[in-house]
Amino acid sequence: MTLLTNLAAWGLTRFTRIVTGAHARWLGCAPVPVQRIYFGNHSSHADFALIWASLPSELRKRTRPVAGADYWENGTIRRFVIHEVLRGVLIDRARTEHARDPIELMAESLDAGDSLILFPEGTRNTTDEALLPFRSGLYHLAARRPDVELVPVWMENLGRLLPKGEFIPVPLLCSITFGAPLKLASGETKDVFLARARQALLATRSSARPENGQAHELR
Amino acid sequence: MSFDDHTLLIAAGIFGILVFASAVGAILRFAVARGAPHPVIDNLNARVYAWWFMAAVIGIALLGGKTGVVALFAFVSFVALREYLTVAPTRRGDHSTLVLAFFVALPFQYLLVWIEWYGLYSIFIPVYAFLLLPTLAAFSADMKDYLQRSATIQWGLMICVFCVSHVPALLTLDIPGYEGRNAFLVVYLILIVQSSDVLQYIWGKLLGRRKIAPQVSPSKTVEGFVGGVASAVALGTALWWITPFSPAQAGAISLAITVMGFFGGLVMSAIKRDRGLKDWGTLIEGHGGMLDRIDSVCFSAPVFFHIVRYGWTP
C-alpha cells in the first residue's frame, strides 16, 4: 500500500465514524479474525464505508466489499476508492457477455483468505420496507464455500444520512450491529436458506433496537 | 467584593461541591458496594465524573468570552439536534430540509447571537425557518405525513437551536450597573437548573412516594419535585449577589427557572416515551445523551432570558 492509499483509508475510516457517530455493536459474534461473509442491508453508498470502518484494522485489511462495477468504475475517485482503498471485488450487474461469473469472482477471493462484505438485496433499498427480497447470490456463494460463516450486519439510519442521489450527508446518528453467524445447512434449498438469512438480518435489526418502556432512570 | 472575588468564590463553591460529590461517591463505592459493581452507585459516580468534565468545559468557554460561549452552545445545539432528528420520523423528501437545518439555520442563528442582532435572532427560527423549510419540503415529491414531518423538524429546531441559543444570548444583554458581569447570568442559569435536576433526584430517592406523571416518567415524584424545587430556589436566592436581582427577585426567578426546567424534562421524556427510547444518546457517560442533560435548560433559558431582558434592560 502506498502512502496515499493509507492516508485515504485512514481518512475514510475517521470521516465515516465521525459523520455516522456509529459504534459497532457485536451482539451475535466477536470481532475475531476468522473468515466471514458479512451481509448487510443496503440503503446508501455509505454502507460500504461503515461496515468497513467498523471492523478492527487487522480484520479490515482482509475484508473486501462486493460492489457493482457499473457504479464504481465510473470516475477516477470512485475507481481509486474501490480498487486501492476498499480493495473491492467488482461484479458486473448487467451481465455483459465477456463478464466473469460474479460467484466465481467472490469464491476466488474467499480462497485467497479474504472475508467479503456483500449486500444481498442487490441494490439500494429506497422503499419503506425494512428489507428487499434477497437475490440468490448469497445462496450460490454459500453453496460454493459452505464452511465460511455468514454474519448478518444491520445498519440503521444510513439511508437517511445519505439517501440515493444526494451528495451532502446529514449528520444523523447511525448504528451498526453484527448479528449471530449462520451457515448453509446440508440439503437446505435456495428459498429456505435465503428466507432464513433474511430473517437473521431482521432479527439483528430487532436486537439492535432499544427496548420499549423503561424511561431514563433519573428523569 | 469585586468581580474577581465573586468569580473566585463561585468557582471555589462549584469545585467544593464536586469534591464533596466525588468523596460521597468514593465512600459509597467502598463502604456500601465494597468495590463490586453496583448499578445505582456506579451510575452516580459516572455522573460525578461527567460533572467535572462539564464544569471544566463551561469554565474554559467562559474564559473565551462571548465567542467561547457562543461556540460551545452552537456545538451543544448541533449534538442535540443530531440526537433529536436521529429518532424523528422524517423521510427521504426531507433531506434538503435537514441539510439546511444543520448547516444553515443552526450556524446562522448562532452568528446572529454573536453579532448581537436581537431583532433577527429572536424571530429567525420562529418566523423564517418556520415558513421557508416547509416550503422547501413541499417541492419534494414526497407528501406522505407532510404535516407531521414539517412540524417535527420545526419543533426540533425550536428546542435544540432556538431555545439553547438563549444561553449565550444572556451575554448580549446590556444591564445598567451590571456591565462585564453577564457571564454570571450564564453560570446562574446553568447552576440553578442543574442543581434543581440533581436535588429533585436526591429528594425523590429519599422521600419519593407519589408519582407525579407515572405515564411519562416513573422516577419523577411529587416529593422529589417539591423538595428539589424548594432547595434549588433556596440556592438561587442565596446566590442573589452574583445577579442584578434583589434576594426576593432572585427567589422568584429561580422558581420560574426550576419549574420551566421540570416542564422541559417532562416534555422531553414524553417524546422519548413516544419514540420508545430510554436515553437520547450515549454522548456523556452516565448521562445518556446531550438532550438528557439539557432538556431542562432548553425550556428555562428563553424564559430566563426574557424575564431579565424585560425587567433589567432599558
Q: Minimal Cα distance from A213: which residue of B?
A: B276
In this prediction, residue B48 has a pLDDT band, given cuts at 50, 70 and 90, of: confident
Can you give the residue ranges of every domain in chain A? 3-208
**Residues β-bridged to residue A36:** A149
B161: which residues sit within 8 A by CB, 6+ positions away?
B77, B81, B101, B105, B106, B109, B125
Q: Which residue has the higher pLDDT, B218 or B73?
A: B73
Query: What per-residue confidence (pLDDT) applies to A218?
Result: 28
**Residues β-bridged to residue A63:** A115
Decide if B111 contacts B63 (C-beta within 8 A): no
A167 burial (CB, 10 Å; 0-12 / 13-18 / 19+) is exposed
Distance in Å, alpha carbon of B1 to nearest chain A alpha carbon: 38
Residue from B57, B298, B51 nearest B189 by CA: B298
Q: Minimal Cα distance from A212: which residue of B?
A: B276
- Count the Cβ atoms, other than its own, within 10 Å of residue B140: 16
Is B283's pLDDT higher than 70? no
At A24, give phi and psi (nearest 5°): -70, 130
A172 closest CB neighbour out of B86, B269, B282 = B86
Q: Which residue has the higher pLDDT, A91 or B117?
A: B117
Q: What is the pLDDT of residues B146-157, one digit of tens each?
A: 999 999 999 999
Query: What per-residue confidence (pLDDT) applies to A216?
Result: 29
Q: Cα-Cα-Cα-Cα dihedral of B10, B289, B291, A173, to 10°?
A: 140
Q: Cα-Cα-Cα-Cα dihedral of A117, A120, A121, A125, to 10°?
A: -20
In this complex, is the C-beta atom of B218 within 8 Å of any C-beta atom belonging to chain A?
yes
Strands in chain A per DSSP E: 24-26, 36-40, 63-68, 89-91, 115-118, 149-156, 175-178
At B141, give phi and psi (nearest 5°): -75, -10
Length of chain A: 219
Specify the 3-state DSSP secondary structure of A119: coil
Average pLDDT over residues B21-39: 83
B5: which residues sit within 8 A by CB, 6+ positions away?
none
A170 closest CB neighbour out of B83, B102, B278 = B102
ipTM of the complex: 0.79
Q: What is the pLDDT of residues A26-85, one digit of tens each?
A: 999 999 989 999 999 998 888 888 998 999 988 998 999 998 888 888 888 888 888 888
The whole-angstrom separation of Cα A23 and Cα A28 is 15
Best residue of A162, A209, A218 to probe chain B, by most B CBs closer than 10 Å: A218
The alpha carbon of residue B5 and the mean position of all alpha carbons in its chain are separated, in whole angstroms, by: 27
Decide if A161 contacts A169 (C-beta within 8 A): yes
Q: Give the cell for residue A67.
A: 460492489
In this complex, is the C-beta atom of B85 within 8 Å of any C-beta atom belonging to chain A?
yes
- Which CATH number, 3.40.50.720, 3.40.1130.10, 3.40.50.620, 1.10.1050.10, labels domain A3-208? 3.40.1130.10
Residue from B57, B25, B31, B20 nearest B43 by CA: B25
Sheet hosting strand A115-118, strand order edge to edge: A24-26, A175-178, A149-156, A36-40, A115-118, A63-68, A89-91
Name every chain A residue with its beta carbon within 8 A of the beta carbon of B288.
216
Q: Cα-Cα-Cα-Cα dihedral of B292, B287, A47, B84, to 10°?
A: 0
Q: What is the pLDDT of residues B55-90, one digit of tens each?
A: 999 999 998 889 999 999 999 999 999 999 988 888
DSSP string, B133-148: HHHHHHHSS--TTHHH
Specify the 3-state DSSP secondary structure of A75: coil
Name every chain A residue with its beta carbon within 8 A of the beta carbon of B279.
216
* pTM exceeds cut of 0.80: yes
Residue from B180, B167, B60, B151 nearest B110 by CA: B167
